[in-house]
Amino acid sequence: MDRTTEGWICGFLGVVIFSGSLPATRIAVLDIEPLFLTLARASIAGLLAMALLMLLRQKYPGRGDLLPLAIVSLGVVVGFPLLTALALQHITAAHSISFVGLLPLTTAIFGIVRGGERPRPAFWLFSGLGAVCVAGFALLQGPSTSPLGNLLMLGAILLCGLGYAEGAKLSLTLGGWQVISWALVLSLPLMAGLMLLNLPPSWTGIGMPAWLGLAYVSLFSMLIGFVFWYRGLALGGIAGVAQLQLLQPFFGLLLAALLLHESVGWEMIAVNVAVIACVAGARHFAKPGVSRKVAGQSEEIVISQ
């Protein structure tokens, strides 16, 4: 199997794993406070990541890697989990997944800002149309949908896109799974300390589904998914593999319907199709990337559009 094929397979597995994050979070916040859930998932994943780094005797990141790792931590360890957990107290998992359709777009925008690329004007046209589709869908839901939930999800997507882009860039020099592992370890003292200060007053009200939701987002969403995802980005190319995120809303909607028995109407399906079409168009008109080197490898990988 060549490196590019392996990258696409790893990226696909990462997307499948991430697709279960919002339904699992929705299940968990029914019994667990969003703040504690965020702190607990990051702490559990951080302990596992630290053990993994020590077991495999990985070298410490350089001083210049600390700021990018802090940005990754802010985006995918703290920001996205906390804001989505708060949002899912006000909106359904199926509704929140409509916002996930913007993840490839936000990742592309932050990737362009960080990489200094200049896409063609049509890129911004499709980007704007995608944002209008999501915003219009949220507004048309009327009083049945919480404006606060929508704003929280929008903030979560922006922070996640920043964390994805920064982590993808860093993975080319530091290594794929090492990026999320060091980001988790970097945030572990803060997250674990705050978790101990925010323990639930009672554990009796937390049912087994909520514990399973916490286990999923801790092990799979915070660690295993990123192991596959960042390795896929490093081997297959950032822009190319990132397009696999377009599949995530469909997988997420399917899981929300099957596991949570939430209604997925034709309007929600239509807006996801529209967003995916807009993001695909934006990707098509983005300027091709440049060659990069993967950590520990001598050959270059072309980040193509």
> 18 versus 300: which is more confidently predicted?
18
Decide if pLDDT at 42 tops 70: yes
Q: Give the mean model confidence (pLDDT) for residues 85-102.
A: 77
What is the DSSP annotation of 75-121? IIIIIHHHHHHHHTTTS-HHHHHHHHTTHHHHHHHHHHHHHT----H
**Contact yes or no for 223/184 (Cβ under 8 A):** yes
Mean pLDDT for all residues in the chain:
80
pLDDT of amino acid 298: 39
Domain assignment of residue 290, given as a range: 3-302
> What's the total number of domains in the chain?
1
**Contact yes or no for 14/228 (Cβ under 8 A):** yes
DSSP SS3 for 291 = strand
pLDDT of amino acid 80: 87
Q: Give the mean model confidence (pLDDT) for residues 183-191.
A: 93
pLDDT tens-place string over residues 62-82: 888 999 999 999 998 888 888
Percent of the chain exceeding pLDDT 90 equals 26
Decide if pLDDT at 303 tops 70: no
pLDDT of amino acid 290: 43
Q: Rounded to two decimals, what is the model's pTM?
A: 0.76
Where is mean pLDDT largest: 11-15, 207-211, 292-296? 207-211
Cα 80 to chain centroid distance, Å, stands at 7
pLDDT tens-place string over residues 238-286: 666 776 777 776 777 777 777 767 666 777 778 778 877 877 776 677 5
**Contact yes or no for 252/97 (Cβ under 8 A):** yes
Residues in CB range of 167: below 8 A, 6 or more apart: 68, 72, 75, 76, 179, 180, 183, 226, 230, 233
Which among 39, 82, 73, 72 has a CA at the least distance from the CA of 187? 73
pLDDT of amino acid 214: 95
Residues in CB range of 80: below 8 A, 6 or more apart: 156, 157, 159, 160, 163
* Lowest-pLDDT choice from 97-101, 207-211, 217-221: 97-101
